[in-house]
Amino acid sequence: MAGPAAKPGDPTQPGDSAPGPAARRSAPVRTEWLGLAVRLGLAVVWGWAGLAKIADPAEAAQAVRAFEILPESLVKPVGYGLPFLELALALLLVTGLGVRLVAGVSALLLLTFIAGIASAWARGISIDCGCFGGGGHVDESQTKYLQEILRDTGFLLLAGWLLWRPRTKFSADGWLAS
């Protein structure tokens, strides 16, 4: 491989019989490696978030209830189901199956979280987002809305990258396409 310094059609590349095509291939390959890192990074985020919410169903339900957005009848289904949705996304990202679709679902979920946190902030209620377990009401001085939104925005960038460049190294998608 020509290495990162290679540029398409660079005439000064020595010892390369076809510098053009080799260099052109190097950019997507680097993107695919970066994509792998992004994919696994997002998988760790979802896996961690999901596992942290599973131990105590009542805690997960309360984290949802504290947002005061969903009606009581939906609090438990969402509190119980959400961690498993997150784990499913983690599993799919690890295998690299349907990366673009999974990235899209991830982005939608993160946008929902950001909207929920922003809404809680705007309404002046004092809660922890419960993004990685815990959650529920906290003292006003303990709220971290800005950090939570910035953190989720960071995760959103990961999902956005995979939406844009879904071809990644060592993915089920890649094996199915070859």
Partner 1 sequence: MSDKNRDGKRTARERMLEQRAADEAASKRRKKLIVGGAVLAVIAAAVVTGVVVQNQRSKPETPTAAPAGTIGDKNLVIPVGAANAPSVLTVYEDPRCPACGIFEREFAATIDQLEDAGKIYTNAHIVSFIDRAVPGKGSKNGANALACAQDAGHFRDFHDVLYRNQPDETSDAFGDKAVLLNLAKQVNGLDTPEFQACVNDNKFGGWVSAVQQDFDKSSYKSTPTVLLNGQPIYPKNGNDEISPANLVKWVDAANQGKQLGTAGSHGQSPAPTSTASEANNPSPSAG
Question: What residue ranges bind partner 1 (CB under 8 A)?
Answer: 54, 56-62, 65, 72, 76-77, 79-85, 87-89, 91-92, 97-98, 101-102, 105, 126, 128, 133-139, 173, 176-177
Cα 67 to Cα 70: distance, rounded to the nearest angstrom = 8
* Least distance to partner 1, CB of residue 92, Å: 6
Nearest to 30 by CA among 56, 3, 50, 59: 3
Residue with structure tokens 């190097």?
26
N residues, the chain = 178
Minimum CB separation of residue 3 from partner 1 in Å reads 32
Closer to partner 1 by Cβ: residue 7 or 165: 165
Minimum Å gap between C-beta 57 and partner 1 is 4
Cβ closer to partner 1: 21 or 81?
81
